[in-house]
Chains A and B, each alone.
Chain A
Amino acid sequence: MASLSFSLAPKAIYQLHDALTCLAKFDDNVAFEAEIDLLRLSVLNLTKTAYSAFVFEADSFFETYSFSRGRGGSSSRAARPDKFSCQMLIKALLSAFKGKSSGRDKDTSVERCEVELQENLDESECRLVIRLICGLGVIKLYKLMYEPVHVQHAIFDRSKITNEWSIEPKYLKEITDHFGPSAEQLDIYSEHGKAVFTSFTMKSSDGKEILRQPIHTSVAIDKRDFDYYLAEDHLHVAIHMKDFKAAIAHAETANTMITARFTRPCRPLQFAYDFEGIRSEFTLMTRGESSGDDAPDSSRAAPVQLSARQTPAPVQISQRSTTSEMKQMPPPRSRSIRPLTGTSTRASQSNTETQRPPPSIESDSLFVPADDDRQWDVPNEEDEGQAEDELGWDATGDQTSIGPGLRDIEPKMAQPTAEEEDEMGIPPTQRMSQLHGLGLFD
């Protein structure tokens, strides 16, 4: 039976809340792991293309921290005897570790937080008890249920990386501000002393709906804006915009440099940063072409990458190299693996965190000073979020004016998507040894 208890200062509670907010962008459940000297919260998304983990150091993050793994029974549950792991709903934790209390109830703001694990093997319900000690003697008590799990981690070998850069997250934030809310993917490469970030969306485009195609945005910043930039020029790696935004949004709150490490396209890329006893890492699967020599125009990124799937060459390369790397790596733990479906399932997810403009007029005052441009926006526009891309009206009623050209594009965009699925969609019966080079876990 494991025993775990720790306590947190208010600042640490907020930091924990920030981390949970960030993790919630990847999936609903968080894996909660306690070891002798650290607590780890991690999330692996459904499609297993993104993994995010926060490690809280026992001696620097917590006020007090104690963990011991007793004997008896529990070894059947946990993979390692020196570790306790379980899974919880992020929403539940978020409501417990609620962020900064509003100014109104300053008297009863949180002063301390104590967390204790009640693992009771005799009873069916095991709980994590969170006690928030607030001002004026108010105590808030949360008992959260958890479920024991085998936690999966993305393996990322930092010693093998060949490309690395580090930058203040605010610069990356500025870049994402230029992207439209519907941008799904982000391509990153460098050339001529510039690092170029390009958004694109892998939407199979219908020729009739040319105006529905998303804006294509690319933002180039000087390499000097980076703390250091040690990455090969013309090497395109593409990741999900949503994951990128989640990582930098949190890194910005941490007020620290964010470092990206990667080897090449179709291998994982990791964003990482450490601050105040917290180690954060985001391991994201990249897509792209193994040799990015002939894509000078960033705007061609999408078709180029798709075509890369059709040629078998890059795949072979990656398989060969993974087998050599395999020798040094621990064998994968036995677990049920979901088929890696690439991004085809993700593509249907709409970006829910669109930067929706706030409702135009908050105050009831009729005569507000004329300053803010947003006050001119139309209120209660339910469809405002979609408005950017959903276009319905055609002034001409004449679709054929540039019809032939559009038809040409249609198969180009649609076909690779289908083929990609064939190639990436591994049937569940496939042997483990064949999976390397495709996912995070090799």
Chain B
Amino acid sequence: MRFRTQLSNASVFSKLTASLSSLGKVCWMRLEQGFIRFTIIPDQGTQVWAQLPVDSIFEEDSYILESNTGVINLEVPIGSLHRALRSAVAAKFTNLRLTKKGNVPLLALTIRATSWTTGNNALGIPDTSNSTSTTDPSPTTAVSTSTTTDRSTGPRERETVITQEIPVKVLHESAVEGLHQPRCRDPDVNILLPSLLQLKNISERFTKLATESKSTTTTSTTTTSSSPSPKLELSATMHGSLRMSIGTDAFRISSTWTDLLNPSLDPGQLAQGELEQLPSERMRGIPEDEEAAWARVRIDGKDWSRILSVGRLNPRVVASFIHETALVLYVFLPGSWNEEDSCLTYYLNSYAVE
């Protein structure tokens, strides 16, 4: 079993791991010949299934994958991986490989970072009047084998080599074959989300307001220790409208976006009759002012905020609403590679009305 590659885009890799690590602590990383997949399935909360072509984060030429099954499955502490990748973001060369120390399998990152010394003496004139107060090393140091450096003070390029070793688990194929993406019925509404940063900021403001009002109203009666975080209500139509709202006993607020895009499915994939039978096409036929035109889900405010952290990758996000059941987010990463191939899919369950 062998895996070795050079990173081609440490920044995207780092941002990806940052977004993933907000959802769970352990990630199933599946290395295949053409694709890399990252999956997080927490005990509760949102699942994410990410699939990227190898060349989106790795140098394809240097990508070496050898295994009996042609696949390597790893269980990776995603937070640690993100932490380690932070060292690589500014580096010019980063190598990632699967290795072993004793019996512990490791993902080892070797990072070469370069920088320029400032150099306090641009002309390189040696400073003869050494006024530093350090005492001269005692005569015994002359025995030591090390070399003294030439004390040129001009700017020069310096190199730092960083190795980060992350303990991982190698998973047998049988351990993961039972895992598959959730299946759900055809969505009622597909809509392209507006700026995730805007969405994130507004939903966090909403959540905060609801949490505060909740805690002030409940302190008088019960303890607030285990109050769950408030639920956001998201709804959308096939007429380009998206609404986010939150309500408590004291107030109800909402924000509505209009003129968003409702992407339609590729007609080539469906038979003629099928397309018209899709729930989303039926929803398109209902006028927007009717309540039935809105597909609605209720999601956890905090969880939503964690998901939206994927916005750091600057993606396009299509939200698929399955009325009162689930919300599926398709997150397409930007970049030179084929967008269709690199997609993060988030599965959120809708909460029932309290």
Contacts and interface: CB of A to CB of B under 8 A. Distances in A.
Interface of A: 158-164, 166, 174-175, 177-178, 180, 190, 193-194, 210-233, 257, 259, 274, 299-300, 361, 365-368, 370, 373, 375-381, 387-396, 398, 401-402, 405-406, 408-409
A211 B168 contact: yes
Given A162-B144, A257-B134, A409 B103 contact: yes
Contacts of B26: 211, 391-395
Contacts of B25: 387, 390-393
Contacts of B201: 361, 365-368
B309 A366 contact: no
Contacts of A180: 80, 83
Interface string B114-156: 0001000000000000001111011011011111111100001
A230 B172 contact: no
B84 interface: yes
Contacts of A391: 25-26, 77, 79
Given A219-B160, A227-B151, A396-B171, 17 more contacts: A175-B160, A193-B147, A230-B137, A232-B144, A232-B145, A257-B134, A299-B163, A300-B101, A365-B201, A366-B201, A366-B205, A376-B200, A379-B204, A387-B21, A395-B171, A406-B104, A408-B103
Contacts of B83: 180, 215, 388
Contacts of A381: 22
Q: Which 4 A-B pairs have the closest CB atoms?
A: A405-B103, A376-B312, A396-B175, A216-B165
Nearest to B89: A373
A199 B73 CA distance: 28
A442 to B, nearest CB: 19
A232 B146 contact: yes
Contact of B160 (A174, A274, A379): A174
B302 interface: yes
Contacts of B75: 211, 394-396
20 contacts: A158-B135, A162-B143, A164-B141, A178-B86, A190-B146, A215-B164, A222-B158, A225-B117, A299-B165, A366-B205, A370-B197, A370-B314, A375-B197, A376-B200, A391-B26, A393-B43, A398-B175, A405-B103, A405-B104, A406-B103
A180 B109 CA distance: 14
Contact of B158 (A225, A228, A406): A225
Interface of B: 15, 18-19, 21-22, 24-26, 28, 39, 41-43, 75-77, 79-80, 83-84, 86-87, 101-106, 117, 132-135, 137-138, 140-141, 143-151, 156, 158-172, 175-176, 179, 195, 197-198, 200-202, 204-205, 302, 305-306, 308-312, 314
A221 B159 CA distance: 6
Contacts of B133: 274
A231 B144 contact: yes
A215 B102 contact: no
Nearest to A390: B25
B137 A377 contact: no
A180 B167 CA distance: 14
Contacts of A194: 161
A377 B18 CA distance: 8
Contacts of B143: 162
Contact of B149 (A211, A216, A224): A224
B312 A395 contact: no
A211 B169 contact: yes
B15 A233 contact: no
A270 B90 CA distance: 33
B160 A230 contact: no
A51 to B, nearest CB: 19
Nearest to B101: A299
A248 B26 CA distance: 34
B145 A159 contact: no
A154 B338 CA distance: 64
A162 to B, nearest CB: 5
A226 B153 CA distance: 11
Contacts of A223: 146-147, 149
Given A158-B135, A226-B149, A216 B305 contact: no
Contact of A230 (B21, B103, B146, B311): B146
B101 A393 contact: no
Contacts of B18: 373, 376-377
A430 B200 CA distance: 63
B125 to A, nearest CB: 17
A220 B138 contact: no
B147 to A, nearest CB: 7
Contacts of B145: 232-233
Nearest to A231: B146
Contacts of B205: 366
B102 A163 contact: no
Contacts of A393: 24-26, 41-43
Contacts of B172: 401
A175 B127 CA distance: 27
B19 A221 contact: no
B197 A373 contact: no
B352 to A, nearest CB: 24
Nearest to A380: B302
B132 to A, nearest CB: 6
B280 to A, nearest CB: 30
Contacts of A389: 77, 79-80
A389 B104 CA distance: 16
B261 to A, nearest CB: 20
A51 B105 CA distance: 38
B103 A402 contact: yes
Contacts of B103: 402, 405-406, 408-409
A412 to B, nearest CB: 8
Contacts of A217: 84, 87, 162-165
Given A220-B160, A402-B169, A376 B311 contact: yes
A401 B164 contact: no
Residue from B149, B302, B308 with most neighbouring chain A CB atoms (10 Å): B149
B88 to A, nearest CB: 10
Contacts of A387: 21, 25, 79
B144 A230 contact: yes
A274 to B, nearest CB: 5
Contacts of A177: 87
A163 B142 CA distance: 10
A175 B111 CA distance: 13
Contacts of B134: 166, 257, 259
A159 B175 contact: no
A175 B113 CA distance: 11
Residue from B134, B135, B204 with most neighbouring chain A CB atoms (10 Å): B134
